[in-house]
């Protein structure tokens, strides 16, 4: 009787090993399947070229700049500006300013006040652009961007 129980226990152990081996083999085969690769941009890299209008709603303003460029800006919330500049869409975040609304990110500064705006490059380590940048104005027939709910200037 003891010999039979030992044999049954051995059968159970063999079946468990076979089952575990089958599961491991299945996982190994599943891991070999071709996966779709998602290319993520490197940290700090500019976003890819814009494909059409990023913010196709009425809150988008088209600016014509002194150097002949056209910049499109949308404001999806009070803290964000999506600026399409040189065929790239940049999501910029609100930054402190003495007057108007200033947005920064990706080495750019976008500063607006009424229908006027300025785009400027931020040098490494700069919080505010030291260079004057390029002046832009809302295109005729375009409404100036609505001021954000967040107050960005302080006047005592």
pLDDT tens-digit map of 63-78? 999 999 999 999 999 8
- What pLDDT, on the 0 to 100 scale, is given for residue 146? 46
Residues 65 and 134 both lie in one domain: yes
Q: Do residues 32 and 69 share a domain?
A: no
Looking at residue 55, what is its pLDDT?
A: 42
Based on the fold, state whether residues 132 and 70 are members of the same structural domain: yes
Comparing 15-19, 53-57, 99-103, 119-123, the range with the smallest average pLDDT is 53-57
Domain count, the chain: 2
Residues 105 and 68 in one domain: yes
Residue pair 135/118 in contact (Cβ under 8 Å)? The answer is: yes
For residue 140, what pLDDT band results from cuts at 50, 70 and 90?
Answer: confident
Q: Both 13 and 78 in a single domain? A: no
Domain region containing 29: 1-36
Contact (Cβ atoms closer than 8 angstroms) between residue 73 and residue 81: yes
State yes or no: pLDDT of 62 exceeds 90.
yes
Domain co-membership, 76 together with 134: yes
Task: In whole angstroms, give the CA distance from residue 37 to residue 117.
Answer: 39
Is the same domain home to 24 and 69?
no
Q: Are residues 28 and 92 in the same domain?
A: no
The string of pLDDT tens digits covering residues 3-59 is 555 566 667 666 666 655 566 555 555 555 545 445 555 555 555 544 444 444 557
DSSP state of 50: P
User: Tokens 């404001």 identify what position?
Assistant: 75
């Amino acid at each position: 009787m003891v010999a039979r129980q030992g044999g049954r226990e051995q059968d159970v152990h063999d079946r468990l090993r076979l089952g575990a081996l089958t599961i491991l083999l299945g996982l190994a085969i599943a891991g070999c399947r071709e996966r779709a690769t998602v290319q993520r941009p490197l940290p700090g890299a500019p976003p890819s070229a814009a494909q059409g209008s990023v913010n196709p709603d009425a809150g988008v303003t088209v600016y014509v700049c002194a150097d002949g460029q056209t910049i499109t800006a949308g404001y999806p919330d009070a803290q964000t500006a999506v600026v399409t500049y040189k065929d790239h869409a940049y999501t910029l975040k609100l930054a402190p300013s003495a007057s108007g609304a200033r947005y920064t990110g990706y080495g750019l500064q976008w500063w607006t006040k009424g229908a006027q705006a300025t785009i400027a490059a931020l040098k490494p380590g700069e919080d505010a652009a030291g260079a004057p940048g390029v002046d832009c104005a809302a295109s005729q027939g375009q409404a100036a961007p609505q001021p954000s709910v967040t107050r960005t200037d302080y006047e005592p």
